[in-house]
Amino acid sequence: MNRYLYYGSAVDIPGYNCSDYQPLHPNPNSKMLTGTIDVVYGFVVLFLYAPTMIVFYKQSRLACFKIMFLLAIVDMGAIFINSLATGVLLVHGASFCDYPNFIYISGAIGLGCWCSACFTCLILALNRILDMVCPLMVKVYFRGYRTTIVLMAPVLYGLFFMFFTPPVIFSAEHQTWFFDPRTRQGKSHEYSNIPHTVNNFSLVFLTCFLYIFFCFKVRRQFQKSFRPKRTARQRQIFLQSTLLCLIHLSASVLYVIMQFIEIPKWLTISSQYLWQLAQGCPVIIYLLFNRKVRAALLIFITSSIQEKSSNYNRKSAENRTLMQISAQTGGTGPTTL
């Protein structure tokens, strides 16, 4: 993004010139069905995330909810790019030279959100483990405003990727995002993003290692006092952690491999869906497996419905009162201008 700000336009950046581009008519890369599915998926995830974020905010006195609130923000930012923008671009069969500025900026934002989410997931896993094995450290690093200070790290981390590393560029032909704007022309190494590769292998693998350790500690604790409810809770935590790790690992590894090695098209498309799933599945997992989030969300929805119902009843009562007064005075009812 810093180069975009410096040059003023994506096509003026060295290596991103589109002077020899010839649009195709009719466009063979237009994917109406696939694009529509991406857009619908994006709206569903955003619809689920919106009230969930309100729940996280209201519960933000707990550090884990503050972390999940930030994760929700960056995930929603990524969904705008990897689902909504991707779907629209697929419908139009567009690639970089069709909308260079939009795609360049979108790619930078999507990359920043992905890397920030990776770091935030790592902090969430670390917070859960410390809460179990060393509660004192949780008080030291995650108490009150300290959580906000800690969360500045993934925010700055994401901004670094957004502004100071090459963005991913959409290709309608391959239905995914590559760093190379002219995909498969033998120059991918010129657009390689080494920090992204380091992020995908180091942070994601470390996060999965922490979740495995977390599951192991949970299992050990539950074994000390065997109860059916705790066994069910243990399975729930293990399944939740396993799903998150598998999706993030698969998306991370595939996205790195396809930048350097030509893989079958179905794998590149799969990597795109895995990216969408990686940033959309947390809210689904919260609602399926996290009883506190589910209960808080239910309370929020119920209270909202009750508030709307009471407002409606109050307005109805006011209207009836006005009608009665109008009838008693022989008027024609309230008038409006």
Peptide bond into 228 cis (omega under 30): no
CA 123 to chain centre: 16
Q: What is the pLDDT of residue 336?
A: 37
Tokens of 42: 């994006």
Tokens of 117: 């989410």
* Banded model confidence at residue 75, pLDDT cuts 50, 70, 90: very high
Q: Which of 270, 263, 250 is nearest to 34 (CA)?
A: 270
Q: Which of 121, 120, 127 is nearest to 142 (CA)?
A: 127
Domains of the chain: 2-16+28-298 (1.20.1070.10)
- Whether 44 shows a pLDDT value over 70: the answer reads yes
pLDDT digits (tens, 9 = 90+) for 76-104: 999 999 999 999 999 998 888 889 999 99
CA distances from 108 to 3, 157, 247 (A): 11, 13, 22
Q: What is the pLDDT of residue 224?
A: 64
Q: What is the pLDDT of residue 195?
A: 92
Q: How far apart are CA 297 and CA 285, in angstroms?
A: 14
- Mean model confidence pLDDT for the chain: 82
Q: How far apart are CA 315 and CA 61, in angstroms?
A: 36
What residues form DSSP beta bridges with 178?
169
Q: Which of 39-53, 105-119, 141-155, 249-263 has the lowest mean pLDDT?
A: 249-263
